[in-house]
């Protein structure tokens, strides 16, 4: 009975950590940072030519390139995590954010060459497994609850940013009027010394 409760709490705690990490990566890193980089990469004309070229490349060469890039990106992420745990927070953050453009490029490569990569049965199976795990994760009560709280938090942050912008940076705000007034005074003072 007690052992069962402990095991259940341990599983729920692990689920919570996994859900939280996934939401942080999906909501914060992917949506806010990586997706815009991916869309920028995808829009580059030179890479559109590379896309056409990649369709003529051997599937094994594509697989080797993708796996090498994916492994290097994940290794950098793990190393950033180790730096973070060892107390080198700034180094970890710099390394992690530096890897994001490479990760976005790797994702672009996957999307462009997905048909070639899926020719490999083990790759297709592994990709399917990851997609099923993500689908399961998103169906858990913990995910739904945490995502709901994240959405509320994002909404509050947006409301605060809107309030802050309207209060301090609208053309009619007292703050902007005072800054303009100070600027005009400084300009007058400096104009006397010309």
DSSP string, 134-159: HHHHHHSHHHHHHHHHHHHHHHHHHH
Query: ∠63-67-69 over CA atoms, to 5°?
Result: 120
- Express each pLDDT in 36-95 by its tens digit: 776 777 677 777 788 888 888 899 999 999 999 989 988 888 888 888 888 888 988 888
Residue 108 or residue 3, greater confidence: 108
- Express each pLDDT in 126-176 by its tens digit: 999 988 988 888 888 887 888 788 788 778 878 888 877 777 666 666 766
pLDDT given for residue 168 in this prediction:
66
How far from the centroid of its chain's Cα atoms is residue 142's Cα? 21
Place of tokens 């996957």: 110
Whole-angstrom Cα distance, residue 19 to residue 17?
A: 5
pLDDT given for residue 171 in this prediction:
65
Instruction: Please report which confidence band the pLDDT of residue 118 belongs to, taking 50, 70 and 90 as the band edges.
Output: very high
pTM of the model as a whole: 0.63
Place of tokens 């009975």: 1
Q: Which bin fits 170, alpha (ψ -120 to 50), beta or left (φ > 0)?
A: beta
Q: Taken in order 95, 107, 41, 29, is the CA torsion positive or negative?
A: negative
């Amino acid at each position: 009975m007690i052992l069962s409760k402990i095991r259940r709490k341990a599983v729920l705690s692990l689920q919570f950590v996994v859900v939280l990490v996934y939401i942080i990566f999906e909501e914060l890193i992917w949506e806010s940072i990586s997706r815009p980089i991916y869309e920028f990469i995808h829009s580059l004309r030179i890479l559109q030519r590379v896309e056409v070229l990649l369709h003529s490349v051997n599937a094994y060469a594509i697989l080797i390139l993708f796996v090498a890039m994916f492994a290097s990106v994940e290794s950098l992420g793990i190393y950033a995590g180790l730096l973070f745990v060892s107390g080198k927070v700034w180094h970890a953050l710099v390394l992690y954010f530096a890897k994001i453009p490479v990760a976005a490029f790797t994702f672009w490569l996957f999307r462009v060459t997905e048909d070639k990569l899926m020719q490999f049965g083990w790759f297709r199976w592994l990709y399917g497994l990851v997609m099923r795990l993500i689908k399961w994760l998103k169906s858990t009560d913990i995910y739904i609850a945490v995502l709901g709280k994240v959405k509320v938090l994002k909404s509050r942050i947006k409301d605060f940013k809107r309030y802050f912008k309207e209060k301090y940076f609208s053309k009619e705000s007292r703050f902007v009027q005072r800054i303009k007034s100070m600027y005009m005074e400084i300009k007058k003072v400096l104009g006397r010394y010309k």
